[in-house]
Copies of this chain bind each other. A is one copy, B any other.
Amino acid sequence: MKVTIRDVAREAGVSVATVSRVLNNSGPVHELTRDRVRQIARLLRYSPSPAARTLITSTTQTIGVLLPNLYGEFFSEVIRGIDQAAQRSGFHLLVSSSHADRSELETALRAMRGRVDGLIVMIPDIDAEALLENLPARLPIVLVSAVLESHPFPSLTIDNYEGAYRLTRHLIERGHSAVAMIKGSERNQEAGERLRGYRAALRDAELPHDPKLEIAGDFTEAAGDRAVAEILALEPRPSAIFAANDAMAIGALSVLREAGVRVPEEMAVAGFDDIPIARYISPPLTTVRVGISALGERATQKLLRGISEAGSGQTPTSEVLRPELVIRRSCGARRV
């Protein structure tokens, strides 16, 4: 029923060891023997059992991806990048998402044990801290969009502070003296950094810091919706909105349009991430480009390096990617 290495060996008139050597290019094999083995293998449609191979080599050729959820274009872009890089190196992808609370994450972590050679973890919420204690020892790992103070894991982040600072400054330079911010999730590191950048830009421009201008949000379109209602009720009304991500900016645009507030004439709007759709909405969204799929690719490369160097005691490095301002029309800039 299932064709094993023994079948190939028997059929080719050699030992299993030889077949193994041929198929893995390990050890020397006579050329004729090799050709014959290969041919038989193909003929029999033999394909080695990954499980058996894993059992003995303790390697799975698989990398695990832990995501908080799969909602929206952001995470699918990340996965796309990861998948590309992984595929290039012959690695497979074990994806696990929706880890709302701690116990779910612990379960997921446990589930990865023995199934992957390394892990890409995107858990921006700070309780990652404690959770990573449940992670299998010596498993190579790369943190994306989060750094842990307590443990020096290799990590990949973008410079959220810088991006937010520059975007806010851009708005200010365009004459907006009251810029509202729709914040990201409360315990999210990236959200915190973006808020910090926003505040710093205001301060450096010697604009007053008004807590009323900082509206709560959670990175969903619906949150953008709700936030706008609050903002429009503000007195005096701000003339610009900086949403901590594009999804919220899009939600905001939607409500502004309903309310008959013209963008950008009466209200400038900007987001963060530059998800692919940002350029297609109306008006095209000014935002901060993260290079989302590139982020996934870089993370994967970093992880693969970590996997191949496992044990050679490299110091884990933290890379910070520089984001780029993308000025489109939603902020009222002249140039597209």
Interface positions of A (Cβ within 8 A of B): 47-52, 54-55, 60, 62, 69-73, 75-77, 79-80, 83-84, 87, 92-98, 110-111, 113-115, 221, 250-251, 253-254, 257, 276-277, 279-284
Contacts and interface: CB of A to CB of B under 8 A. Distances in A.
A254 B281 contact: yes
A280 B76 contact: no
Q: Chain B CB within 10 Å — which of A55, A76, A284 has the most?
A: A76
Contacts of A280: 221, 250-251, 253-254
Copies of this subunit: 2
Contacts of A83: 70, 95-98
B96 A94 contact: no
Contacts of A284: 254
A36 B93 CA distance: 37
Nearest to A67: B83
B47 A110 contact: yes
Contacts of A62: 94, 115
12 contacts: A47-B114, A48-B114, A49-B55, A50-B115, A51-B52, A72-B276, A73-B73, A73-B76, A79-B95, A80-B97, A221-B277, A277-B277
B250 A114 contact: no
Given A95-B95, A221-B277, A253-B280, 6 more contacts: A55-B55, A79-B79, A92-B111, A94-B94, A254-B281, A281-B281
A73 B276 CA distance: 10
Contacts of A55: 49, 51-52, 55
Contact of A281 (B50, B70, B282): B282
B84 A98 contact: yes
Given A70-B76, A80-B71, A92-B94, A277 B250 contact: yes
A87 B97 CA distance: 9
In the A-B complex, the 5 residue pairs with the closest CB atoms: A76-B76, A51-B54, A70-B80, A254-B280, A257-B282
Contacts of A282: 253-254, 257, 281-282
Nearest to A70: B80
A85 to B, nearest CB: 11
Contacts of A48: 114
Contacts of A80: 69-71, 97-98
A115 B51 CA distance: 8
Contacts of A69: 80
Q: Chain B CB within 10 Å — which of A47, A114, A279 has the most?
A: A114
Contacts of A54: 51
Nearest to A69: B80
A114 B251 contact: no
Q: Chain B CB within 10 Å — which of A51, A110, A221 has the most?
A: A51
Contacts of A47: 110, 113-114
Nearest to A51: B54
A183 B179 CA distance: 42
A95 B80 CA distance: 10
A52 B113 CA distance: 13
